[in-house]
Amino acid sequence: MRRITKALGLHPVQTLAGLLSLAAICIQAAPARAFESFEMQVSPYVQVLGAVSDFQRGDIDSATMMSIVMDASWDNPNLRIRARNKPAFLLENTSTTLAATITSFSATIPVGTTFTFGNGDMAMDNFTNYVRSNITYNDPGVTVTGSSLSNGGRTVTVNFDGLTVGKRVLFNLDLDTSSGFPYPDFRTVLFGAPSFQGDPQTTPASFTVGFANPTNAVNGSFVSPDLDASQVLTYASSNIRPYSFMDMVEHLPIGGQIPEPNTIILTFVGLGALASLRRRGC
């Protein structure tokens, strides 16, 4: 600070105030940047995701949303196990860059597990390759154009068309395993939660959301404040809950965006501007 004040011929207090003020002005005056971003929600049932999304958009009220969620929470426990084996995903483009278009979504199961992605357990599951699209809930003009499997079945990629800013797409993925109970729970496979009390937590699966610009992609892991990986899954895997007990449907929100520029950079811009003004005699 002494070197800076000596070079600029200012009192230290004046210098500090000036630096902070100009840096603040620089940050405030910087034009709002546009970002590629998304919101993803995961649940056993697509109708729950659709209801929550409709409520967030203001299309339905909270009572209607909760009615749909509660209805799903009283489902057949055997069907719930199958539903958790084929989780539903809602992916919405929340970018502020008007030209941003989401073109793909990829999920990768960590190495060292027996889990893989599949193409449905039976024909009536209606999977096309490795994905089931829910056109009833997709926004107009949004389609799933295809899917592929790689990395020994541990990485699935879903491709989209028309997923522009403000639009959503809903789809299901199937989970398989080479050993154990044939219908693995998505909370264990994707979020790393233990299947039984006393079991250690595992590494969550990772994901990538790709945008039309090949250099723009958001990478992350399936972590959510609504589901700690250390949470015991009371009704996971082969543990079938009694019919007389409600099992609330999981709704796990996830989001992400291309990182913002570091404000430290803007601060240095402010310092440079202050020095420039001093040189000009301002």
In-domain check, residue 83: yes
106: containing domain: 37-257
Q: Provide the domain count of the chain.
A: 1
Contacts of 136 (CB under 8 A, 6+ apart): 50
Is residue 181 very low, low, confident or very high in pLDDT (cuts 50, 70, 90)?
confident
In-domain check, residue 113: yes
Mean pLDDT of 152-180: 95
- Say how far apart CA 110 and CA 154 lie, in whole Å: 7
Residues 188/192/196/200 CA torsion (nearest 10 deg): 160
In-domain check, residue 24: no
In-domain check, residue 135: yes
Residue 206, exposed/middle/buried by CB under 10 A (0-12, 13-18, 19+)?
middle
In-domain check, residue 246: yes
Contact 255, 56 (CB under 8 A): no
Q: Is the pLDDT of residue 18 over 80?
A: no
In-domain check, residue 53: yes
In-domain check, residue 225: yes
In-domain check, residue 280: no
Query: What integer pLDDT is reported at residue 239 of this predicted model?
Result: 58
Please calculate the CA angle 49-69-123 and round it to the nearest 5 degrees: 60
Residue 110, exposed/middle/buried by CB under 10 A (0-12, 13-18, 19+)?
middle
